[in-house]
Structures are given as C-alpha cells and as structure tokens.
Amino acid sequence: MNLSNFKTGDANEIDVRATFAEELIRHAGKLAQDGFVAQSQQKIMMKGPQDFLTETDLVVEEFIRSALLEKFPDDGFFGEETGGIGEENYWVVDPIDGTANFARGIPHYCIAIAFVSNNEIELGLIFNPPFDELYVSRKGAGTTRNGDVVRVSGIEDIDATSVEVGWSNRLPNLGYLNILAEVLSEGANARRASSGALGLAYVADGRSDGYVELHMNAWDCLAGLLMVLEAGGVIAGTCLSEDLRKGGSVLAATPEIAPVLSNASGIAINN
C-alpha cells in the first residue's frame, strides 16, 4: 500500500499529521477487516485472562508503526503490542481495540490512534472498519464522523440514558459491580460492548450518554477522550495525568450525566 508523500516541513505540522493519519488509519482498517473476514484461520493467543491477541493485531500495529516512523522519524511511538517510547511528540496506537469481539467474529472493534505533544492530546482518530465509520478529532477543532460534525447527546433525564461501564482485569470485580449497581439504581441503562475506544466515540456522537472505567490503558482511551471533550462532553480521571502514557481511570459523559457517573465511580470531576 502506498501512502501519500506528506512532508513534515509544511506550515502546520498538526495539519500534516492529521491528513496523513486519516489516510493511514483507513489503510490499516483494510488490513484489519481482511483479517477479521479470515479470522477463523488465524492463531489466537492469550496475553492474560480475557486478554486476547491475534495475528492481525501484530500486523496492523507494525504497519502503522512503520508508516508513522518513516514519515515522522522524530516522533515517538507507543503501541499496545510493541510498546515504544516518546517524550515530547509521540503517537499512541491500539491496532485492534475489541480483540475479544474480533476473535469471535463480532463486528464491534476499531483501530485507535492519538497524537500527543507536550502531554496534550492534539489528534484522535478511531476507525470502525466493519461499518466504515471514521471519527476524527483535533484539539480546539471539534469531532467528526465521516466528515460530519458530531456532538454529545442532549438527554437530561437519567431514566432515558444509556451508559457503558467498562471492566478491567487489573482491578477487583467488586469495583465494577458496585459502579454497575449504582448506575442502574439511578435509572440509567448500562451496557458493556468490549471496546472502550468505540464506547468513547459513541459518547462523542450521542449514541451513548457516558462511559466510565476504573482503569484504561493510554492506547484505549486518549483518542476517544479528545473526541468527547471536543464534542461538548466532560472528561475526567487519573488517565489525564502528568504522563498520559500511564493510563488510569476514565470518565467521559454529557455534562448532565457526568455527576451521576462521578458519584457512582468515585472519579472526581474538575470544574
């Protein structure tokens, strides 16, 4: 696959990165979807309990890593499968978020890419290959889905809301169950679809009203958090620390629903 020859010396380097990343993530999505169609023929490995790894994860991450570092050799790279390092400017990549779905033939997975500069999320991209939906967000410039501007939902009645409660095997199950019980007792509908990145994107475009999880890795959450913020939502959590690479707790919601999720999870909202 040949990608356009963008140059880093152009007037606005964030523009250059954004344009290149959009083309790149669509090419990567083609690789991912090809792997999804043939997933019954590929080897599935386990990194830990309920932590899946497929051959496609590795292929897609290497494709993205190689392309980014070729075009932007001074940028760092931080990927789920191959790690990496970056201090000032770096890319954060999840080649397949929702690998458990992917491995079972469920078309709910995505590729997530974020660009961080001086510990600020400047770009976020999430691509859902099965439905050809590309979310793009840029700091200070809003969030789009396939080029159309999206906003968080305007639902104010908690009884009409749907939120996603994510789960991490890094923490005791009781914490997740307590949040779920509290959210349900408030009257919200709760779901878990096993792709945190898509869960955040769905808050940004109003398909969900909130997302909360007690621990997410940077590659799962950074792109989506920028999308929610730029779409008019509230974001909070220890993931927004002095080092974005560390990950942590995540809350993303409409302004009306954020206090409910904050009370249920114990994740403070900074006003």
Confidence at residue 258, expressed as pLDDT on a 0 to 100 scale: 96
Looking at 3.30.2130.30, 3.10.150.10, 3.30.540.10, 3.40.50.300, the CATH number of the domain 13-149 comes to: 3.30.540.10
CATH of 158-265, picked from 3.40.50.2300, 3.40.190.80, 3.40.30.10, 3.30.70.890, is: 3.40.190.80
Q: Is the pLDDT of residue 2 over 70?
A: no
Predicted local distance difference test score (pLDDT) of residue 207? 97
Supply the pLDDT for residue 271: 59
The angle at the Cα of 242, spanning 201 to 144, to the nearest 5 degrees, equals 20
Q: Which of 71-85, 152-166, 201-215 has the lowest average pLDDT? A: 71-85
What pLDDT does 39 receive? Answer: 67
Within 8 A by CB and 6+ apart from 181, the residues are none
- Position 83 confidence tier, pLDDT thresholds 50, 70, 90: low
- CA 270 – CA 157 distance, rounded (Å): 23
Note the pLDDT of residue 134: 98
Average pLDDT, integer, range 2-7: 48
Mean pLDDT of the chain: 88
pLDDT at 44 over 60: no
Average pLDDT over residues 66-73: 94
CA distances from 174 to 47, 80, 180 (A): 23, 26, 10
> Quick check: 43 pLDDT over 70?
no
**Average pLDDT of the residues in 125-148:** 97
pTM for the model:
0.90
**203 phi and psi angles, rounded to 5 deg:** -70, -40
Amino acid at 249: S
Does residue 26 carry a pLDDT above 90? yes
Which amino acid is located at 96 in the chain? I
Kindly give the pairing relationship between strand 89-97 and strand 76-79. Answer: parallel
Q: What is the mean pLDDT of residues 108-120?
A: 95
Shortest CA distance to 33 belongs to which of 122, 113, 100, 131? 131
C-beta neighbour count of 71 within 10 angstroms: 19
Domain boundaries, the chain: 13-149, 158-265
| Least confident span in 77-81, 92-96, 194-198 | 77-81
Which pLDDT belongs to residue 241? Answer: 87
Q: What is the pLDDT of residue 146?
A: 98
Of the ranges 64-78, 146-160, 169-183, 187-201, which one carries the lowest mean pLDDT score? 169-183
Q: Enter the tokens of residue 37.
A: 């169609």
